[in-house]
Structure 1
Amino acid sequence: MGNSTALLIIDVQEAMFSYPGQKLYDEEGVMERIVSLQQKARIAGTPIVYIQHTEDEEYTKGTPSWQISHRITPQKGEVIVEKPTWDAFHRTELQDELQKLGITNLVICGMQSEFCLDTTIRRAYSMGYKSVLVQDAHSTFDNGVLSSSEIIKHHNAVIGGRFAQLRAESEVQF
């Protein structure tokens, strides 16, 4: 993919793993694939940008649940962008950081499929980025209307081929 690509890891924060009685769809598998993407990007020298949701409640800056998951702790020099809304570009430094790095292509994974991933991918599309949604490296929760697996399938179907290319984690090379 070349060095104009960045891996964007959205909202993989401790809070996602701490809701009482709620578990992310395929939580272990999704996390293994996110860790693998992170490792592949680091080996290739591909920039990694972590999006960190920051607001009141579980995402209050500095609290344990706000921290990026201990399984993917950012290394020195990797970019962390805090965001107050579902859109990682809205009221954040993301666009500036990507421009500084010369990024035109994004590989996107993380949480939650129907909120921050969906909104950020659509915004990236409108801003001219070419994106890959890693179809088996994003997740969410059941919402009372649809199961988490239905939400993920739906978002892969709607986003894929329109707003982003779909790729399995095993197919992603940096």
Structure 2
Amino acid sequence: MDKAVLLVVDIQTVIMEEHPYNEVHFLEGVKKMISYARAKEMEVIYVRHNDGPGSSMEYGSRGWQIYSEIAPLETDRIFEKRYNSAFRQTGLKEYLDSKGIKKIYLVGLQTEYCIDATCKSAFEQEYEVIIPEGTNSTVDNQFMTGKQVYEYINFALWNNRFAKVIPLEEVLNQ
């Protein structure tokens, strides 16, 4: 079996306070994935976005903090990023490669921004990407509801192209 990690991207206080689509189910699914990973002795890696000085996601600010309900353990690795992709100028690829990682279980916020960029970047770098259904989310925008964004990107764009979108329960029963 390929070595795998759980990548938890941008589940930060300021975004959660916007109440993303399917918020309760989303958080429940992420918590289940974290428990699953820990039970399987799979490393849980957190990625946190910094939008720079004066932003609601400024380094060290309250909004920048990883959401308390899924807070990392002291032993968990946290990668800081400034771009949508968790791979751009973070050292994440080098770290994963040093550990022999071939598979990434990807969860987090926001579907159309950092999860999309991270998914496609991981695909380009030849990782196998698994997206458990319901474990990424976003908020409504001027063009689409959060639900529409989630469904379109997960099932029309990613699935069987850049990743495998698999029912959460199926992942948890592996």
TM-score interval, normalised by the smaller of the two chains? over 0.9
Work out the percentage of aligned pairs sharing the same amino acid. 26
Shift of 1:18: 2.4
Q: Deviations over 1:61-98 (max 9, x none)?
A: 11111111111111122111011010111111111221
| Structure 1 gap segments, 5+ residues each | none
| Structure 2 gap segments, 5+ residues each | none
Q: Which residue matches 2:127?
A: 129
Q: Deviations over 1:23-52 (max 9, x none)?
A: 200111100110110011011100111110
SS state at 1:64 partner: coil
Q: Deviations over 1:95-147 (max 9, x none)?
A: 12212221110000110000001111111111010001122111001111111
Extract structure 1 runs of 4+ deviating beyond 6 A.
none
The structure 2 residue matched to 1:107, chosen from 105, 108, 120, is: 105
Q: Does structure 1 retain, via aligned residues, the 8 Å contact 2:2–2:103?
A: no
TM-score calculated relative to the size of structure 1: 0.93
Q: Which residue matches 1:140?
A: 138
Q: Which residue matches 2:35?
A: 39
SS state at 1:121 partner: helix
CA RMSD of aligned residues (A): 1.3
- Give runs of aligned pairs for residues 55-70 of structure 1, distance below 5 A: 55-56=51-52, 57-70=55-68
Mapped partners of 2:77, 2:170: distance in 1: 24
Bigger CA drift: 95-104 or 148-157?
Answer: 95-104
SS state at 1:104 partner: strand
Corresponding position: 1:16 with 2:15: yes
Q: Which amino acid aligns with 1:110?
A: G
Q: Which residue matches 1:52?
A: 48
Corresponding position: 1:91 with 2:89: yes
Q: Which amino acid aligns with 2:165?
A: L
Q: Does structure 1 retain, via aligned residues, the 8 Å contact 2:120–2:162?
A: yes
